[in-house]
Amino acid sequence: MTSVENRARLVLGNWKMHGNLAENAALLTELRAADAASHCEIGICVPFPYLAQAASALTGSSVSWGAQDVSAHEKGAYTGEVSGAMLKEFGCRWALAGHSERRVLHGETDEAVAAKAQAALAAGLTPVVCVGESLADREAGNTLAVIERQLKPVLALGADAVSRMVLAYEPVWAIGTGRTASPEQAQEVHGAIRAALRALGAAQVQVLYGGSVKAANASSLFAMTDIDGALVGGASLVADEFLRIAAI
């Protein structure tokens, strides 16, 4: 089942800075073995050192993989950066851009996030552009203004570019806190994002919800008109929980 006829459901896992070779091997084996039971497209975004392991384990399955960040630069003297072309060599399909932890901890601006998304596209990757407000923004009634500001430089790349992206709404106050936006709160923001996409001519872009998504709350979130799937954090580290979300 899809939220709208032409928008397939997508469930992506974000491992963040978790994992080791042994634990990863077990998790990847479980994902590969069960991927045929999923009702939607599923993928995982893993730490850079584990991209080769993910590629080896998942090649030939329907589970895709990607990275949690991408450089805005193609090549050069950018110590510690990883380019889209490098990610592509490891079979990546996805690259997260603008996750709130990158925005907060590394000072990434809205313009920097748009540049990363553009670089991902140039390398043949699908950027997953994350937006979301802080608790202070929500309590001040500024949620939609913040989302509009964050999306502005991304939408300025034009309909052709945006149509090849995925967007993810992740309220900062719900990430890793156990708190989840109510389906109605999430739908309000997703509806605003959809309206902006429609105005651009890219209404069919998938918009995911992220923020303490679990099997217990995913069904009510997925029932909302403009929520096309999930960007899953901690629950993606447990194969059974992640696959239960994907099976809804």
User: Which residue in 97, 99, 83, 11 sits closest to 48, CA to CA?
Assistant: 83
**Cα Rg of the chain (Å, integer):** 17
Dihedrals phi, psi of 199, to nearest 5 degrees: -65, -30
The residue among 234, 233, 229 whose CA lies nearest residue 246 is 229
Does the CA dihedral 213-215-216-222 come out positive or negative? positive
3-state secondary structure of 123: coil
The 3-state DSSP class for residue 183 equals: helix
Query: 43 forms bridges with which residues in the sheet?
Result: 12, 64
Distance CA 139, CA 131 (A): 17
Catalytic residue among 41, 99, 108, 241: 99
Please report, for residues 19, 71, 85, the alpha-carbon distance to residue 118 in angstroms, rounded to integers and kept in the order given. 29, 10, 13
User: Binding site annotation covers 176?
Assistant: yes
Q: Answer yes or no: 170 catalytic.
A: yes
Kindly list the distances between the CA atom of residue 156 and the CA atoms of 149, 153, 181, 196, 200, in Å, as whole numbers in the listed order. Answer: 11, 5, 28, 11, 9
Q: Is 99 a catalytic residue?
A: yes
| 49 DSSP 8-state letter | G
Q: Is 14 annotated as a binding residue?
A: yes
Q: Name the catalytic one among 41, 101, 108, 170.
A: 170
The annotation status of 214 as a binding-site residue, yes or no, is no
76 is an annotated ligand-binding site residue: no
Question: What's the DSSP call for residue 204?
Answer: T
- Determine if residue 173 is labeled as part of a ligand binding site: no
16 among annotated binding-site residues: yes
Q: Return the number of other C-beta atoms located less than 10 Å from residue 209's C-beta.
A: 30
Residue 15 in marked binding region: yes
Question: Which residue positions form the known binding site for substrate?
Answer: 14-16, 176, 212, 233-234
Active site positions, annotated: 99, 170
Per the annotation, where are the binding residues?
A: 14-16, 176, 212, 233-234
